Structure 1
Amino acid sequence: MALWVETNHGDRGPSYIAGQIERLALQGDDAGAAMWRSVAERFEQLIRMPKPGRIS
């Protein structure tokens, strides 16, 4: 899911994820909000990974 967010939302990924968490929390869907919080953690790991061809 984190890769899908990066592919489809790019730099706006964190905002998209936060919106999903907020929407689900407001609906009382604790499990859904928790799932998106774990996606947020994986998204952060994904964007910290060195990109091929980029010198770190």
Structure 2
Amino acid sequence: MGGGARYPYPKEVWSPAGGWWSRPSNWKANTAVAFAGIIAVTAAAWQVSADKETR
């Protein structure tokens, strides 16, 4: 299973998704930083919403 060996591909082609077989070695750190950013923005929006809330 797996579809065969990797074939040579043109190096001058750029892709925002990383191109062919993109597996950055620091994907875990990148994911953690992105998740922390999402949590920070959500917490800030939550705080602003709670401050403006009236009951």
What TM-score, normalized to structure 1? Answer: 0.37
More helix by share: 1
For the pair shown, the structure with the greater C-alpha radius of gyration is 2
Higher RCO, 1 vs 2 (CA within 8 Å, ≥6 residues apart): 1
